[in-house]
Amino acid sequence: MEPGTEVHNLPLHSPIQGLPVPPRSLPVFRSDVLVVGSGIAGLRAAIAAGDLGAHVVVLSKGALDDTNTRYAQGGIAAAMGPGDCPEFHAGDTLNLGCGLSDPAIVEALTSEAPQAIRWLLREGTRFDRQPDGALAMGREGGHREPRVLHSHGTATGLEIQRVLCNVARNHPRLDIHPFMMAVDLVKDAEGRVCGLLAIHQDQGRRGPGVPEPVFFEAQNVIFATGGGGQIYRETTNPQQATGDGLAMALRAGTELQDLEFVQFHPTILYLAGAARFLISEVTRGAGAVLRDRSGRAFMADYHPDRELAPRDVVSRAIFDRMIKAGDTHVYLDFSGVPDAPSRFPALAKITREFGIDFSQHPIPVRPAVHYFVGGITADLEGRTSIEGLWATGECASIRFHGANRMGSNSLLEGLVHGRRVGEAVASSNALPWRRFLLPRTDRPQESAGAELQINDMVYSLKSLMWRQVGIVRDLTGLQDASGRLQEWEGYLARLGPFSQAGVEVVNMVQVAHVLTLAATFRQESRGTHSRTDYPETLDPWRVHSSIRNCTGTVEIKAQPVSYEAASAQTESAAVTKLKSS
């Protein structure tokens, strides 16, 4: 069946309807640019806009440095080594994108990668170095050359977050509001985004943890809100990754695309009682081997690159071995990695606390949701389908990753694209101020005596998505999930509390639902999207899935690609460049 258009009856409840006080009574903060999110993409955009003279307000859902970026154990990719060049980097990215990466976008980001790394170095980023002082670069799955920079082995995100926070805190044109959760966008009379409602988890005046509503008004709003891994039972994402930006954009009528492409990281530590600790791909690059219960190394059965195959291949291979053996995990063997404890001190520490010497004994691992490849449709400067709203980082879909993200390209995207977005927004700020329309707060009457158990709904959601919209999917499971999610949305519309937890569960259910609809819509397997009832990759489905909320309905349609797959041309250009140099 070739792709077409589907329309689903799906009224989307807005949490703003539960506002407990009159909108006119709320305080209002004004700025030129409002950035929602304080990870690598958000802070780089804010700094770039501030450097060009804009007054920027940054909202952070938690502490300024408590972001997805902080927990990124992998590295950041840039073609800076001998024998490498941006064209090779672009070619590898296109090959892994399964026909859905835009060559122009890929070329722009990979060509600007070395300059972005040099900016980080000037700001004080401490990347790992070789004994001679040169930058140390590793190789990860999908990369033909060593081009992945790390900091302190597996603490790259933590180091980059440290540097960006330091720059942001000391920037004269940036105001930072931590513990501020965005709730919903607001528009002016002409439909242009001009701010949002947020809730501050006030720690003083109204008592600890009491939500305090506030409006933020801005000429332009940048979403850098990250992904939504918390809608799944197993995820590497921190607690705040609840799909907030995706849900707010959806409710506002912004186009989203390719939500069916969710990347699973192949290896998280799987010990009863332990946090789901991500074991970076760099460990497999150093020689760690995946083994099944019998001790057999199995990756050669699935891909010639074995442990360094693309992440979707490794994740499905592990899942397949788990299913066949009836196990909950496989094992990662470090016995062939010299000096493993000193090379990976964080992993050594956590396994030692559970009585395991991982250099001598294989450790249990399994896949977990790691990255949302799809998101808010945006261009190379971050413009979305609604005027006044921009998007960057994991919450955006700029057709860089295609259908499958290559390892260590996400920090790169946030750094390069974030700068581009910040500069574009600052350059577009000479607009007349337009006041937003006050939102409706006519929430449906709650049922007498009914109380919604938020924690129970979140647990049920995570389990449902893991079972039926996970690593492998089929029509029966997807349709059942969609029906359940629609019921839960109805409960939330009537009973969801106006609190951070209440808003988060609305966002999670709505994002889970449109993700499920997108996975049902794509009747093939491509990249990270795998369906047992449609196992082939099909040319007619080399399209982007476009999702838009209209009042009371959600429309999903195929958006044909407007470019040719250009990895061969990119490869030729790279070879020519290297020969001439």
CA distance to 137, 282, 297, 335, 340, per residue, from 288 (Å): 18, 9, 10, 7, 9
* pLDDT tier for residue 488 given thresholds of 50, 70 and 90: very high
Give percent of the chain with pLDDT exceeding 70: 92
Tell me what the mean pLDDT of segment 236-255 comes to.
96
- Going by C-alpha positions, the residue among 523, 433, 406, 412 that lies closest to residue 474 is 523
Backbone phi, psi, residue 443, to 5°: -70, 140
Position 467 scores a pLDDT of 94
For 249-276, how does the pLDDT look when each residue is reduced to its tens digit (9 = 90+)?
A: 999 999 999 999 999 999 999 987 777 7
Give the three-class secondary structure for 102.
coil
* pLDDT tier for residue 579 given thresholds of 50, 70 and 90: very low
Residue 135 has pLDDT above 60, yes or no: yes
Mean pLDDT of the chain, nearest integer? 90
Tell me what the mean pLDDT of segment 465-487 comes to.
96
Residue 571 has pLDDT above 70, yes or no: no
CB atoms within 10 A of CB 239: 12
Residue 5 has pLDDT above 80, yes or no: yes
For 515-558, how does the pLDDT look when each residue is reduced to its tens digit (9 = 90+)?
A: 999 999 999 999 999 999 999 999 999 999 999 999 889 999 99
CA distance to 200, 443, 504, per residue, from 21 (Å): 14, 12, 20
- Active-site residue numbers? 311
Tell me what the mean pLDDT of segment 301-328 comes to.
89
Position 154 scores a pLDDT of 80
Write out 229-291 in H/E/C secondary structure: HHHCCCECCCCCCCCHHHHHHHHCCCCEECCCCEEEEEEEECCCCCCCCECCHHHHHCCCEEE
* pLDDT tier for residue 60 given thresholds of 50, 70 and 90: very high
Residue 506 corresponds to which amino acid?
V
Tell me what the mean pLDDT of segment 23-36 comes to.
94
CA distance to 312, 313, 315, 516, 525, per residue, from 472 (Å): 11, 12, 10, 12, 9
Lookup: tokens for 54: 């804009």
The reported pTM is 0.92
Position 444 scores a pLDDT of 52
Domains of the chain: 5-15+452-560 (1.20.58.100), 33-261+371-427 (3.50.50.60), 268-369 (3.90.700.10)
Position 91 scores a pLDDT of 94
Residue with the two structure tokens 């389990």: 463
For 369-410, how does the pLDDT look when each residue is reduced to its tens digit (9 = 90+)?
A: 999 999 999 999 999 999 999 999 999 999 999 999 998 999
Backbone phi, psi, residue 173, to 5°: -110, 10
- The total number of residues shown for the chain amounts to 581
d(CA 271, CA 356): 11
Position 572 scores a pLDDT of 55
Position 281 scores a pLDDT of 81
Position 562 scores a pLDDT of 83
Q: Bigger pLDDT: 139 or 362?
A: 362
Position 545 scores a pLDDT of 98
* pLDDT tier for residue 96 given thresholds of 50, 70 and 90: very high
Radius of gyration for the alpha carbons in the chain, expressed in angstroms and rounded: 23
Give percent of the chain with pLDDT exceeding 90: 72
